[in-house]
Structure 1
């Protein structure tokens, strides 16, 4: 059991960053990238990472990974195309990802229980249904706690970064493992610009430290300790050359163009840079998948081209750099969409039978797990639950599936409760 647990009490990493001004080390890009390569080779040879590509709104499995072209009622407008793995076919609007399919596997038989956006988001990030008595940590926070802390306290960057979306709570693991949020990867990172001179900032921090140490000495609770710890980590980050991992201007134009310069493409590139620097978990959001109306035009002209470019380039780039074997990539949303096309030319919420994609990190590529029927309605082979998915992700990353925490109220809480790793993928 783990006892080093902190309660967030509604406070966020952004809250603390907002109280501090930042200093930026003037380190040449070549020196920064050279340092990353050296550290990757020496200090983090076996370190595991995870990049979650989160499709907010609920993406349609029938128009991405599990097309049904022969279904007259549910098939839709898109046609499947061949991939780099014989026999695996995906949407015609994902040609770049199709070339990388040998590194990816598909689960076409996921079945979950939540068709509400908020509840589905919570479920897919934690493995648990929402419960008013406890806030479960998101998987990113679990990775930060289990994997990031192995590097020690000297690592200057947060081990959970969320790009393009707020990220999910660390729950009872405490604010030290909450996400550091990057709202716009194409802009300047909020609160990493100096607002006061360094000497003045240091005086303020020293004064704050005196107040906090005295407050903590009075046994005021875990939240006070978490508050102090986050400030300390923030100062390390602000004064570290590793903040250059957030600066995409270091990248050649050819790389920027390969990923695409949209928020999602740039987010995928930033995710690569962050794991290259040693960050454990990065989530990159691409919203706009709640397509109750006009789904085929929106997917064809907007969502799928953006997804294809960013995701395809990310996989190829990680493989080129020799990082894919230790970097798990997971693509998912909060649920799928109805096989039936509604009267508005869209698809509605559907958790009953849908798909996720994952690869890298030791996952066997080029596999398909499970199947739905010819109309995409029912799972007919190898039903997979959310805890099975979480167990598979844990196993790939080296987190033991029997890991159990104790909440601040003394309640035992497992990371994986009742699920089993998908043996076809591990």
Structure 2
């Protein structure tokens, strides 16, 4: 089991995400005493009798004044069994793009619902977006369970409705867990609650400590080598007069000295002479490891190239269909000239057709939209000036994602997934033939 879990929160406004995150930080003793004192003073100023733990995470003045979360914030906490990196995302509809940003690298997402409201439209929206992003594991935290008259029935009904939704989006039942919690009082967060005798499952922290964290790496390890070159190392010192190494992070597969590889997009083949790190040479390096590869032959390799396994190396592509979430105020229109960043390569790109727009409530599509507006998700066609080496996102999240960037200002305009992720969601998780 990995000792690090990347997770995110999602949910509707006022479902208690900030309070839950504050409770996780508080119960794992991941906040300093002076922070607790500051929160206590702020809570007293608000007329509260107990500390408002949401103030531990709503750090921006605007957030505190409005009582909402308006940006993605990354929190770090740990238990004796595991460390965690958590992306706390906003719940407002207009911040769907922030949910995409926070959940794009998550191995697990905690999706909150208010026990008094149940599964609402924003719950369905978030579930659809998380399915598009290929998030491997979900936890439904039924919060404020202490505020309903018949909690056992309410929890069962919400769980059944949510399970039907997640099954339709392609998740297996073992990848989704429902937990009744009260973030305010700490019920079933770190400590099992006597107030929920109808629930015999793990607490939230127990589940986070034990859930397998390598599920999003399954595709990374089943593929052959994918190594985007980030930097060419030429020290030119007396000790290393002829050293030429290619540094980067292994995006998929594994690499060892002696392995045959192909440099893409050129197609030149060679072998790996050494796998170097700051701590010395390695016999084998796996996906996720940052290394420097030394090749047997003096071949032309530059930043943005990909060193891959010849057995399953993807064909470099300069035209493809993609699913994008549009993140900018100015709408996307056909013919837009942008920059596309995939791995370590950035190239000019032209958006061709807007093929369809996705309705995340009905899980349907509208063909040939004139534009994609802020927060909307759609399928588009893209043509790039330089070929990229990409896998379909449904096969591998790490080699199938990209960004669209404003060439004038450098702002990120869209998060993109190579392939038709919408079709995967519409078919309940089945990868189209």
What TM-score, normalized by structure 1, do the two folds share?
A: 0.23
Larger RCO: Structure 1 or Structure 2 (Cα < 8 Å, ≥ 6 residues apart)?
A: 1
Q: In proportion to residue count, which structure has more strand?
A: 2
Q: In proportion to residue count, which structure has more helix?
A: 1
Larger radius of gyration: 2
What TM-score, normalized by structure 2, do the two folds share?
A: 0.22
